A and B are shown apart, each in its own frame.
Chain A
Amino acid sequence: EAGVAQSPRYKIIEKRQSVAFWCNPISGHATLYWYQQILGQGPKLLIQFQNNGVVDDSQLPKDRFSAERLKGVDSTLKIQPAKLEDSAVYLCASSLDPGQANIQYFGAGTRLSVL
């Protein structure tokens, strides 16, 4: 079974530039999550989708971050414009159904460096 795919693995940009990350969850997983993991900390949830609808985006900085999952499968997370403090690993995860939301499958992440 293929895991959660993310691209790119690494991205370096200058502050105020834009960047986008892509995620393809495990086939059949209805729930998709984006996390931000700052060095030395645990992952922090940014947004959760159930199919193509947003379930929770309470911790997403909406003035600069946006995410979509138009067809209920893959998803993109965008930052525009980026700030220095956005340097982190952005992780995508998926889970099979809402009843097992505490068992999530993570991708390898995208490491973003903002200079």
Chain B
Amino acid sequence: LAKTTQPISMDSYEGQEVNITCSHNNIATNDYITWYQQFPSQGPRFIIQGYKTKVTNEVASLFIPADRKSSTLSLPRVSLSDTAVYYCLVGEAGANNLFFGTGTRLTVIP
């Protein structure tokens, strides 16, 4: 499993775009990059997954440069309800053992 490094915490004001970067220098050819979101008192929730370039869904965008050694989760115009812990995971699509790490605690300020 490729090791990931992401900021421990971030603060943002409501309405701003938030970018959370994850480093994964040892990513393997078959690895995907997957992001989860966890609200207090809830289990993690899958947000987005990508392999290269850019992926966008109704929740977020995921930007992956050509060398794939990092990725950036972009949350457009955050609201207070986006306050959560965001986890970056790297592994094969069929990887059994998801390693969550400590994640990035995002606090959205009014």
The answer to whether B96 and A42 have CB atoms under 8 Å apart is no
Question: Which of the segments A14-22, A64-72, A76-84, A91-99 contacts the partner chain?
Answer: A91-99
Give per-residue flags for A81-115: 1 if the beta carbon is below 8 A from chain B beta carbons, else 0: 00000000001010000111111111111010000
Q: Is B29 an interface residue (CB 8 A)?
A: no
The answer to whether A99 and B103 have CB atoms under 8 Å apart is no
Q: Closest A-chain residue to B97, C-beta based?
A: A45
The answer to whether B45 and A42 have CB atoms under 8 Å apart is no
Q: Pick the residue among B45, B92, B96, B101 that contacts A106 (CB under 8 A).
A: B45
Q: Is A4 an interface residue (CB 8 A)?
A: yes
Q: Is B81 an interface residue (CB 8 A)?
A: no
Q: Closest A-chain residue to B34, C-beta based?
A: A102
The answer to whether A40 and B102 have CB atoms under 8 Å apart is yes
Known: A41-B102, A42-B100. A102 touches B91 (CB 8 A): yes
Interface residues on A, range: 20 to 34
Question: B93 contacts which chain A residues (CB < 8 A)?
Answer: 99-102
The answer to whether B43 and A108 have CB atoms under 8 Å apart is yes
Q: Is B110 an interface residue (CB 8 A)?
A: no
Q: How far is the CA of A74 from the CA of B11 in the complex (A)?
A: 39
Interface residues on B, range: 20 to 34
Q: Is A12 an interface residue (CB 8 A)?
A: no
Known: A42-B103, A104-B98. A91 touches B43 (CB 8 A): yes
B15 to chain A minimum Cβ distance, whole angstroms, is: 29
**Which 7 A-B pairs give the minimum distances between C-beta atoms?**
A106-B43, A42-B100, A91-B43, A99-B94, A102-B34, A43-B100, A42-B101
The answer to whether A102 and B44 have CB atoms under 8 Å apart is no
Known: A56-B96, A101-B96. A106 touches B91 (CB 8 A): no
Known: A43-B44, A93-B43, A108-B42. A102 touches B100 (CB 8 A): no
Q: How far is the CA of A16 from the CA of B102 in the complex (A)?
A: 29
The answer to whether A101 and B49 have CB atoms under 8 Å apart is no
